[in-house]
Structure 1
């Protein structure tokens, strides 16, 4: 099935929607080249998983919710009940992702996180144990079924408009930017020598390359940029591990948890910032009541500037990545990460020596840390941080994220992650399409009374400090007003 080509010019999304929804099948009914590739992959999966169908049992939500332990995990996708307990350790996104949704409806998160869910559904067949009883609703009873249906309808519309299709030219342009910056840095130091002014200048060039490579590898981890997943996998390894020196598997396992349970305490590793920081409204009060004081939390907004952001990339993330690689024996990632350091020593070692090259790498990662730290935190720390509430997908992501106003600089500086709401709702959508989707998401939020937060960049940066100060004030009030136990 193919749809009419996307109209050129500045037509509204409403016009595009009407055109795409009105498109017809090709006359011969045959899929295009991409369709053949997908069918081939689906056939391969079907050959692997074509097992006899089990007799299906009927379950209520009450029964399903009892299977929410790490050793007993059921979940629901499109009213089908799956026992994923034995599959968790083999899950490409990490076992914790499945554990976080055990006992819940995972329909929307399943669709959001898999670029081609039709293939994955074939692998799910052996895990199928039953389905929801006919009298049971599609989602848990605490969820707004109308909101869920409207969001699913929006997704179908966006799929019909081909907004999940990647523009290869966009990604190769960004990849070319990385290669040019790396080559330019070497040419400059080769021509002008290794003086301190040259070192600062090439450090800035390489910092831009490092920051932009983070955004590019992020795409390869989420999208089907290439028709074959092995090329996405190889490209992410090259950009994340060879260009940045970080483990791809470590990053994916951590990052996917962040996406599926954004800003959920104990489930989102990005807000697991203790004991140096306390964030949100609940943890500070609990720490205060229990007289927990690892540092002077009243000054945590200053620690964030002086300690957390500068050390995020060169110390925290690098150490965490190294420990995970060796603990889990990610031999492929270890080889790729070693190639990062080998390349730097070959390229810059003749000019700086071994120690000087290590200092150069640290300086680059320090500068990148300042960049990435603010970009990654401005859309989450100031937003709602809560315990598990088992809300619908739309509400969970919209309440936990915010956008930064669009401009050419903002788009480039954040890697288009200034559209954080759209990115979290549709992780497998290419980032060059976020601005097209934003008006429709905003309209849906307005219909259901959900806040759609869009800020100037400087205000977004400032809100990080204001949120940290507010959490510290909650801690101090609880600490001072509750007697020691």
Structure 2
């Protein structure tokens, strides 16, 4: 059954509590059939991604002792990022009906092809989805190199405070280190006993992939070119992966630790969509439809674009602000927000609807 956006107002009862509004939207979306698996799409993507991964290694061998290897390294970063996106989709149960098939597909893709710990990432990502942009709950805004909240900024002193007040300008250069950071966090996790489920499988996958990758490069290439290959691949991988996540929530409202919101508003008000057509869809792995992804995390990636008009119209009718901007505008918002985090203490998150429901 297809539900046109113009049909949505007739589907909403006049006196429905806001806590039930998501149930109404979910029912409408289920009736469209957009939650059904897309096996043809995903099998095609999986096969093409793995063939491309193998093709990159063939290119490394054929190009040999040449600085053209840096182009191959850039291609490697693009392919590994696309495999990471497929792992993300599988972790969200988007590919298969079976929980086990999804889990093991994500584990093998993340560990064996990307070099990341699936167990570590899944725990972190599930916390983010359950409470996006909420202080003390969302690990993506927890204190670190970057200060995402006024409280984190206030704790900085000296040169670290100066850096935090200008951190927006350093954010994207820092993304070049994000790939290395993800690998380090994964290695630390799998080396700890009982840190992740199926550690006996995940640890060899992650450690073996990283060791073989580095080893083969230094066997096939002189040390200088092998190191340059690694540097370009890791830097571009960090930018591509981090650049696909950063615009989705950074600069959206920060939710106080003790505030309670209904599911619809919790996911929509703290998320931002990025428009831009097929190219943006491909580069961001469908994460540019962040609102729809947070509302329906198990929806297959190609269906997010189709459900977007329905969600947008429903939010307008329900009085829930729906944010969507262009790609470069989204990055500008991120930079501006990070450079002015301290001023956000003057602009606490306010939501009349949440206030009327109580804390």
Q: Please classify the TM superposition score into its range, dividing by the shorter chain length.
A: 0.7 to 0.9
Question: How big is the alpha-carbon RMSD for the aligned residues of Structure 1 and Structure 2?
Answer: 2.8
In 2, Cα distance between equivalents of 1:15 and 1:449? 15
CA–CA separation in structure 2 for the residues paired with 1:474 and 1:425: 26
CA displacement at 1:194 relative to structure 2: 2.7
What is the CA–CA distance in structure 2 between the aligned matches of 1:474 and 1:390, rounded to whole Å? 20
Partner of 1:154: 25
2:170 corresponds to which of 290, 300, 303: 303
Residue from 418, 425, 450 that aligns with 2:295: 425
**Unaligned stretches of 5+ residues in structure 2:** 347-359
Counterpart check, 1:235 vs 2:225: no
Select 1:211's aligned residue among 71, 81, 87: 81
1:348 offset after TM fit, Å? 3.8
- The alpha-carbon deviation at position 188 of structure 1 amounts to 2.3
For 1:183-198, list aligned pairs within 5 A. Answer: 183-197=54-68
Task: Provide the TM-score with structure 1 as the length reference.
Answer: 0.64
Name the structure with the higher helix share: 2
* CA apart distance, 1:171: 1.2
2-structure distance, mates of 1:464, 1:191: 41
Quote the Cα distance in structure 1 between the aligned partners of 2:40 and 2:77: 23
CA contact (8 A) 2:87 2:109 kept: yes
The question of 1:283 aligning with 2:151 is answered yes
CA contact (8 A) 2:5 2:310 kept: no
The CA deviation string for residues 263-295 of structure 1, in whole angstroms up to 9 with x for no partner, is 001111111143x33224x4267548xx68733
Contact 1:241 1:337 in 2 (8 A): yes
* Secondary structure at the counterpart of residue 438 of structure 1: helix
Q: Aligned ranges for residues 18-33 of structure 1 at < 5 Å? A: none
- The 1-side partners of 2:109 and 2:177 are apart by 21
Structure 2 residue 45 is matched with structure 1 residue 174 = yes
Q: Distance in 1 between matches of 2:343 and 2:42?
A: 44
Give how far 1:335 is off: 1.1
Q: CA contact under 8 A between 1:181 and 1:205: conserved in structure 2?
A: no
Give the whole-Å Cα distance in 2 for the aligned partners of 1:16 and 1:386: 32
Q: Report whether the alignment pairs 1:468 with 2:338.
A: yes
Greater relative CO (CA pairs within 8 A, separation 6+): 2
Structure 1: runs of 5 or more not aligned: 1-5, 7-11, 22-143, 477-485
Alignment of 1:14 with 2:17, yes or no, is no
- Asked whether the equivalents of residues 182 and 205 of structure 1 are also in contact (C-alpha less than 8 Å), the reply is no
Query: Structure 2 CA distance, aligned partners of 1:238 and 1:231?
Result: 11
**Do 2:77 and 2:233's aligned partners in 1 also have CA atoms closer than 8 Å?**
yes
| Equivalences, count | 335
Which SS does the other structure have where 2:132 is aligned? coil
- Does the aligned pair in 2 maintain the 1:403–1:455 contact within 8 Å? yes
The verdict on how the C-alpha distance between 1:370 and 1:146 changes in structure 2, with shifts beyond 3 A counting, is: same
**Distance in 2 between residues matched to 1:465 and 1:340, nearest whole Å:** 34
- Preserved CA contact (<8 Å) 1:242 1:340: yes
Partner residue, 1:49: none
Q: Please name the residue that 2:220 is paired with.
A: 351
Q: Which is higher, the Rg of structure 1 or of structure 2?
A: 1
Return closer, same or farther for 1:467/1:16 CA change in 2, 3 Å cut-off: closer
Tell whether the 8 Å contact from 2:21 to 2:264 is kept in structure 1 after alignment.
Answer: no
Distance in 2 (alpha carbons) for counterparts of 1:384 and 1:15: 27
In structure 2, distance between residues paired with 1:341 and 1:285: 35
Question: How far 1:356 sits from its partner (Å)?
Answer: 5.6
